[in-house]
Amino acid sequence: MKKIEEIDNNFKAAKVNDIDVNYYNVINKPFSLEGFPWGNPAEGKFYRLPDDIKAPDEINSGALWNGHSLTSGGCVRFRTDATFISIRAKLANSMDMNHMPRAGSAGFDIYIGEAGKDCRHAGTAQPTPGEIDLERVVFNDPNLPSNMRDWRINFPLYGGATCVEIGIPPNTKIEPPTPHKIKPILFYGSSITQGGCASRPGNNYCSMLCRAVDAEQINLGFSGCGKGEPAVAKAIASLDLSVFIMDYDHNSPTVEHLKDTHEPFFKIIRKAHPNLPIIMTSMCDIWKDRDYENRSLRRDIVRQTYENAIAAGDRHVYYIDGETLFGTANREECTVDRCHPNDLGFYRMFENILPTLQKAILEA
């Protein structure tokens, strides 16, 4: 007779740092896999866009589609009484960039505690250059009482993965996570929305906002792509959301392009969801001493979409001026390259968006 570990790999113990662990695939219950509303993880697809988007002329000649497998916003949540947790992942790539830590672009980080209450960072899995088969301890505290706790592991912001497994010692338990308080929040925007250049996934402002209000994050931030394509708006309109945050100003190649796409994109989603709170933001930029690509004109276009909606009787639309997102003091310390936020910049964005997000949720 075969042993159970020969039939089911989940029962096969592995040694990590001389500790026996059993690995469990995150696509299976009781894990809650989030951030991939159209993916099919059972087929190794942690995708941020649906397979049936077939409009390459609208999707930047395929560039946006190439970013759909990058796992920004992906997350696995669970409860366990384990005080030792490891992760084993097959990375689709180990994304290296000259302006962003690999821990953020290709790494995972783990949080302990229930969102909206005591959720806090507890560890990071950092790949080495070119590493594809990743195995790391993400939490180990033998002095922590072995009570059931909520955990979340955030996926890479710019890398991808085809298989992710969580390892815990034998004789410890895994349960479903505490349910979210509200429905998912979807973010649509640029490389900044995607998380460039946070030092780790949980430091993206989108992640901070979703932890603060306890919602699943769906991140449709695409570096250099995501330019108000109608096909993407229709895909977003197919989802049941609590809030939609629209911020693709940075990606529009010209003022004319932004003017031609911004309000039509908004209207596709508003037609499908008349009462969905929608927050629009204009370009976040530290350059107060120059008119960066006609920034004032761009801001006027975004604000005009908002004002037109208000004039039409829309009571679930909100506007945030991108000039306010980095605050007023030491704005120059908020970016890596005078464009992409560092961790301070992302925290400032979180602080300045949160009140509007909370208001939108309350008034929904």
**Residue 56 belongs to some domain of the structure:** no
Q: Taking residues 143-162, what's their average pLDDT?
A: 95
3-state secondary structure of 108: strand
Same domain (yes/no): 192, 167: no
Same domain (yes/no): 225, 167: no
pLDDT, residue 64, reads 67
**Residue 64 belongs to some domain of the structure:** no
Same domain (yes/no): 332, 214: yes
What residue has token string 């330019």?
A: 227
**Residue 195 belongs to some domain of the structure:** yes
The CATH number linked to 79 is 2.60.120.260
Same domain (yes/no): 151, 225: no
The CATH number linked to 275 is 3.40.50.1110
The strand pairing partners of 166, in sequence order, are 24, 87
pLDDT, residue 58, reads 52
pLDDT tops 50 at residue 4: no
Same domain (yes/no): 157, 190: no
**Residue 13 belongs to some domain of the structure:** yes
Same domain (yes/no): 216, 345: yes
The pLDDT confidence band at residue 285, using thresholds 50, 70 and 90, is: low
Q: Taking residues 132-149, what's their average pLDDT?
A: 95
Same domain (yes/no): 356, 240: yes
What are the counts of helices (DSSP H) followed by strands (DSSP E) for the chain? 9, 16
The pLDDT confidence band at residue 6, using thresholds 50, 70 and 90, is: very low
pLDDT digits (tens, 9 = 90+) for 57-102: 555 545 666 678 899 999 999 999 999 999 999 998 766 788 899 9
Q: With pLDDT > 90 as the criterion, what percentage of the chain qualifies?
A: 71
The whole-angstrom separation of Cα 113 and Cα 278 is 29
**Residue 55 belongs to some domain of the structure:** no
Q: How many domains does the chain have?
A: 2
Same domain (yes/no): 144, 276: no
The strand pairing partners of 186, in sequence order, are 218, 244
Q: Is the pTM of this model over 0.95?
A: no
3-state secondary structure of 20: strand
**Residue 27 belongs to some domain of the structure:** yes
Average pLDDT of the chain to the nearest whole number: 90
Domain range spanning residue 165? 8-36+71-175
Same domain (yes/no): 192, 337: yes
More confident residue, 13 or 113: 113
